A and B are shown apart, each in its own frame.
Chain A
């Protein structure tokens, strides 16, 4: 589903001494099916922004459109929107509460009035997507799992609603590298398979370089940059001013290009680790061939 923000502002604690604008005059649009990396410093308004996508927060001003549904400051009913937009909060394992894993994953589907057998089926699929052994885990208490497993159960709880839009707020925070990769790969697969529109909030430039096809950079509650990773990463200085960095791959290419002659420069499109290593490998093999 296409998502667009039109001049959206949100003010916390309106009319109190603690009034604070979290996002102001934000406008952007995301085509259906894209994987968007949302980046920005702590306090730049990322979390506030994503809570608008499923109507948890209603804008103080402006309009948000998700597919056919529009949210304005006057909007009252948002229940139907929540079945279409799945939102995974930071540390989602803190929201687990049921007695068994399967019951917890079925909680979302049942809230949207799905029949029990269908909810069960969806929960099973969702647990398989996040890479958990269904039969082994379904009747265990979610509180007896390891941290990484709890995280996966919680993400499965959102996936089981089969949303069309998936919003994830730092889904890999506090996990080990293997766990990060497993979770993100799972999400990426479902993103591709179901043609979801995905928003991934993260601090890791490596993660957005690997998965995102669109980047949204926030600073002080405003959109500082928007574009393809290639476009955004080319503005290294501007990113640095926003206390953000480019991925290791980009700075590697940059450094290498400083040393290479003009006609052998590496392309800035090589910001994905796999692409870069594959390219360097072919270069090396060519060299070897010439050497012989």
Chain B
């Protein structure tokens, strides 16, 4: 199960904390608002405040920081890449360094800082959402929040169901991939060396069985659901009802304060 270990990004960690107990809807809303205000801010000190909010939220979630940051590994590359692009390509203001064509200028540094902060803060905050919310709660929350769109014909329940099935089958498919890889390696397949073309060819032996098994699983699942009388969301009740508590009230009040503060100081 070596492949599984590289996919910790945002994988739910069951626990009991303030953040874990929040209603998924308020977490989702908070993330959305946080992302918007982080993107709209253009003051360095505001970013200090946002970082403080993030650290405070992380503390409230009682998750180990090392675990969270290890899950961010795949994002580092993107982050560094955008910083470099901004640093060298944005021109304007005072020139700090100049080597021939290359120059680092004031606006570039500024932009690089903002982009890095924005990306970093939002990625960590959104992984906090998925780390502290079970996939089931997450899709329930999304379904509830999108509820009003049913009136204009959006298949909200179906979308939420697709989402939760997709999330549910990620580990299953990873395990399946691992198994098929091992089976083909036993038959002498080599996925580790060789040129691009021979590697791509070798992948066929994994991809086809994987697709076949995914379709088989989908069929089995559909049959099992029908056998138990599933016919969409009409008249369907939930095992667990989502309910707001005082915690959600606190988060919403805090969120409003955050929006007002940014609105006032941005101008």
Contacts and interface: CB of A to CB of B under 8 A. Distances in A.
B1 A82 contact: no
A82 B185 contact: yes
A97 B204 CA distance: 8
Interface in B190-249: 190, 204-205, 208-209, 212-213
A281 interface: no
B208 A83 contact: no
Would you list the 7 A-B pairs with minimal beta carbon distance, nearest first? A111-B188, A108-B187, A97-B208, A95-B183, A87-B186, A89-B183, A112-B188
Interface stretch (A11-19, A26-34, A260-268): A11-19
Contact of A79 (B188, B208, B213): B188
A10 to B, nearest CB: 12
23 contacts: A12-B1, A13-B5, A51-B182, A56-B185, A56-B186, A82-B185, A82-B187, A82-B188, A89-B179, A89-B182, A89-B183, A89-B186, A92-B183, A94-B179, A94-B212, A94-B213, A95-B187, A95-B209, A97-B205, A97-B209, A108-B187, A111-B189, A111-B190
A132 to B, nearest CB: 18
A95 B190 contact: no
B180 interface: yes
Interface of B: 1, 5, 67, 176, 179-180, 182-190, 204-205, 208-209, 212-213
A16 B6 CA distance: 11
Given A12-B1, A51-B182, A97-B209, A17 B67 contact: yes
A141 B212 CA distance: 13
B208 to A, nearest CB: 4
Interface residues of A, number: 26
A259 B179 CA distance: 50
A91 B183 CA distance: 10
A130 interface: no
Contacts of B179: 89, 94
Interface string A150-188: 000000011001000000000000000000000000000
Contacts of B176: 94
B188 A86 contact: no
Given A89-B179, A89-B182, 13 more contacts: A56-B185, A82-B185, A94-B176, A94-B212, A95-B180, A95-B187, A95-B209, A96-B209, A97-B212, A108-B188, A111-B189, A158-B186, A158-B187
B61 to A, nearest CB: 16
A143 B182 CA distance: 20
B145 to A, nearest CB: 32
Contact of B186 (A13, A86, A96): A86
A158 B182 CA distance: 13
A278 B170 CA distance: 54
Contact of A82 (B67, B186, B205, B208): B186
